[in-house]
């Protein structure tokens, strides 16, 4: 099925809603005057993984909430195993065998992992006391059955869990009882590689057991690793359904945003000769002897594998980690960075990797988050000039196309791409000389990525020196004028735009002649020899 204005794809497959599995037929959902979904008809067959894709705001979350009983459709209905199903609550969906693994886990902090997993159905002894032995037997059996016995401790308290472990608890909670349909909403956003692989193996087993799996993710590699079918939503309607085995990333992107992947990057040559930022033998607890220059209007990418020291270098330049030796020079003047305040006053801004944990006040408004680092410029005496603050926040919200009802909207209610735009608006208002962007498009959809790339190009054109950290090699190659590759806390080489290829970057990122910073080289070599 193809939305109006979208050419049929060679990889498109028919979408059958009759029979087993779960489906939605003619589903429309309105919130007041806003239509989130319009006449959506889609099936999710048993024994198949259907990837549900689309830009933020395309209707994916609304559709999931209708399937799991959190929202009721304005028109249309849900069909389970061929019969219409009325779901007035998530509890009814769960009773029908429909489960969802939410992106934001809900964990009880003061009880164990085992008690979190079976909350609401804990085994009891006579007198209603917890049956600890039976609880232990159940959690041990389920961890082994699901393949997570080595990645999570059932006795650990909820308050002690990291983001990845909280996600795994949600997955365990959903899978400890019989299910017909399981929806995963960005399940790997907080998982390490080994944890993600355990999840993928589990999804493969669910498919083999005949369960209908709905998988929502922005990560193309995962989609093509797991999916049998790819259903694409655009502007609340079905843009198409593709056979994952006979399509490609470019076709999926074109269906999502209406244009090719190659058009996402804005390539320009605006770098000047003026060196804005110069690092001379900069050494911290995590990086050593970093020599680097960034010119006005230049985009320099820091590439490397996990643990290479890129984010640690960014935090040091932002005044959040001490520089032990070497010099940071801005516009020819050495800086003394004792705190983030020093960096901000000097003209260095950082949009960190973890925007929710490190950059945003989620329960505060777009206005508050935008003006945060510019309050000294918006005050008269001790009072913020509210009119000027509102006007500035509105101006940058409009410029960056933040999708929001108004600037008083809480940031936590925005999509990931719009949250990232708020972080960027903060720095555009401050007008830094150097802006460091750490994983600026992580966890956001293709359409939002294109808008972030446009903003980066605009900043370069305005003469800002940009240092971009990214783990996505196509992004590095598409954005950068020059690429510095790090490994074990050091720069192993630099590549110009013309020299850079994925192979060249990976060769520098995996150089095997460098011991990690802070490591005794002889001991490292000895350990490596013992391992061999």
> CA 281 from chain center: how many Å?
33
Q: In angstroms, rounded to a whole number, what is the distance separating the alpha carbons of residues 447 and 445? A: 6
Q: What per-residue confidence (pLDDT) applies to 525?
A: 37
Whole-structure pTM value: 0.60
Q: Which two tokens mark 84?
A: 């219409």
- Both tokens of residue 26? 């003619």
Strand ranges (DSSP E) for 2-95? 22-31, 34-44, 49-53, 75-80, 83-85
Nearest by Cα to 90 from 102, 76, 74, 108: 102
CA distance 94 to 67: 10
pLDDT at 201: 86
* Mean pLDDT value across residues 116-140: 88
Q: Tokens 């249309």: give the residue.
A: 76
User: How far is Cα 177 from Cα 182, in angstroms, rounded to an integer?
Assistant: 11
Asked if pLDDT for residue 415 goes beyond 90, the answer is no
Most confident range, picked from 159-168, 248-257, 348-357: 348-357
Is residue 511's pLDDT more than 60? yes
pLDDT surpasses 90 at 50: yes
What pLDDT, in 10s, does the model give residues 4-32?
A: 333 334 445 545 444 578 999 999 999 88
Q: How confident is the model at residue 530 (pLDDT cuts 50, 70, 90)?
A: very low
Among 372, 401, 403, 404, CA closest to 389: 372
Residues 6+ apart with CB under 8 A from 483: 300, 301, 302, 303, 476, 477, 494, 495, 496, 497, 500, 505
Is the Cβ–Cβ distance between 52 and 112 less than 8 Å? no
pLDDT at residue 15 in the model:
53
Task: Look at 131-135, 268-272, 503-507, 516-520 and tell me which has the smallest mean pLDDT.
Answer: 516-520
416 vs 513 pLDDT, higher one: 416
Between CA 372 and CA 357 the distance in angstroms is 15
Q: Report the SS3 class of residue 14.
A: coil
Largest Cα–Cα separation, the chain: 79
Strand residue runs (E) in 200-287: 212-216, 229-234, 237-243, 275-283
Domains annotated for the chain, with CATH where assigned, are 22-105+180-263 (3.40.50.300), 108-160 (no CATH), 270-347+432-532 (3.40.50.300), 359-430 (no CATH)
Residue 191 C-beta-side C-alpha neighbours within 13 Å: 24
Distance (Å, rounded) from C-alpha 3 to C-alpha 240?
Answer: 7
Query: What is the C-alpha to C-alpha distance for residues 51 and 476, in angstroms, rounded to an integer?
Result: 26
Over residues 357-403, the pLDDT tens digits come to: 888 999 999 999 999 888 888 888 788 888 888 998 898 888 888 88
Question: Is the Cβ–Cβ distance between 410 and 442 less than 8 Å?
Answer: no
Q: For 128-156, b where at least 16 C-beta lie within 10 A, e where not — what string?
A: eeeeeeebeebbeebbeebebbebbebee
Taking CA 167 as the corner, what is the angle to CA 162 and CA 172, rounded to the nearest 5 degrees?
Answer: 125
Answer whether residue 283 shows pLDDT above 90.
yes
Number of alpha carbons in the 13 Å side-chain half-sphere of residue 444: 22
The C-alpha atoms of residue 487 and residue 499 are separated, in whole angstroms, by 19
**Residues of the chain above pLDDT 70, percent:** 89
- Scanning the structure block, which residue is given the tokens 């058009």? 263
Q: What kind and span of H or E run contains 291?
A: strand 290-295
Angle at which helix 386-399 crosses helix 416-430, to 10 degrees, equals 120
Asked whether the beta carbons of 297 and 271 are under 8 A apart, the reply is yes
Distance CA 310, CA 298 (A): 18
């Amino acid at each position: 099925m193809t939305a109006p204005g979208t050419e049929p794809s060679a990889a498109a497959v028919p979408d059958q809603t009759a029979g087993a599995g779960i489906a939605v037929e003619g589903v429309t959902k309105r919130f007041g005057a806003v239509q989130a979904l319009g006449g959506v008809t889609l099936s999710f067959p048993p024994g198949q993984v259907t990837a549900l894709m689309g830009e933020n705001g395309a209707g994916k979350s609304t559709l999931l909430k209708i399937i799991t009983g959190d929202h009721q459709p304005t028109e249309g209905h849900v069909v389970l195993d061929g019969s219409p199903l009325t779901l007035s609550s998530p509890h009814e969906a769960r009773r029908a065998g429909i489960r969802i693994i939410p992106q934001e886990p809900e964990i009880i902090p003061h009880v164990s992992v085992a008690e979190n997993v079976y909350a609401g159905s804990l085994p009891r002894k006579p007198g209603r006391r917890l049956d600890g032995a039976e609880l232990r037997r159940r959690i041990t059996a389920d961890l082994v059955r699901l393949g997570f016995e080595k990645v999570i401790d059932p006795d650990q308290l909820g308050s002690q869990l990291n983001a990845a472990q909280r996600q795994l608890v949600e997955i365990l909670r959903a899978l400890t009882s019989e299910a017909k349909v399981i929806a995963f909403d960005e399940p790997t956003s907080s998982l390490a590689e080994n944890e993600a692989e355990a999840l993928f193996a589990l999804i493969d087993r669910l498919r083999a057991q005949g369960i209908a799996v709905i998988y929502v993710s922005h990560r193309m590699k995962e989609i093509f690793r797991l999916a049998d079918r790819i259903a694409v939503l655009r502007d609340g309607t079905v843009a198409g359904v593709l056979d994952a085995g006979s399509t490609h990333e470019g076709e999926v992107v074109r269906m999502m945003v209406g244009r090719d992947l190659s058009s996402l990057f804005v390539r320009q040559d605006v770098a000047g000769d003026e060196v804005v930022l110069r690092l001379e033998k900069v050494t911290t607890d995590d990086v050593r002897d970093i020599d680097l220059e960034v010119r006005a209007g230049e985009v320099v990418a820091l590439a490397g594998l996990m643990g290479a020291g890129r984010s640690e270098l960014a935090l040091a330049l932002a005044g959040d980690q001490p520089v032990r030796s070497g010099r940071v020079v801005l516009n020819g003047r050495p800086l003394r960075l004792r705190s983030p305040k020093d960096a901000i006053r000097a003209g260095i801004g950082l949009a960190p990797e973890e925007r929710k944990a490190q950059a945003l006040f989620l329960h505060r408004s777009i206005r508050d988050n935008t003006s945060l680092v510019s309050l000294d410029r918006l005050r008269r005496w001790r009072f913020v000039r509210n009119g000027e603050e509102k006007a500035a926040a509105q101006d940058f919200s409009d410029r960056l196309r933040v999708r929001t009802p108004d600037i008083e909207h809480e940031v936590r209610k925005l999509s990931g791409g719009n949250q990232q735009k708020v972080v960027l608006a903060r720095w555009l208002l401050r007008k830094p000389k150097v802006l460091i962007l750490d994983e600026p498009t992580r966890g956001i959809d293709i359409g939002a990525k294109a808008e972030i790339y446009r903003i980066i190009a605009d900043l370069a054109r305005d003469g800002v020196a940009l240092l971009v950290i990214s783990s996505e090699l196509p992004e590095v190659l598409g954005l950068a004028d020059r690429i510095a590759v790090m490994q074990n806390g050091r720069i192993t080489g630099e590549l110009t735009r013309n020299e850079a290829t994925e192979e060249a970057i990976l060769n520098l990122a995996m150089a095997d002649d460098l011991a990690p910073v802070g490591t005794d080289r002889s001991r490292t070599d000895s350990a490596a020899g013992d391992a061999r």
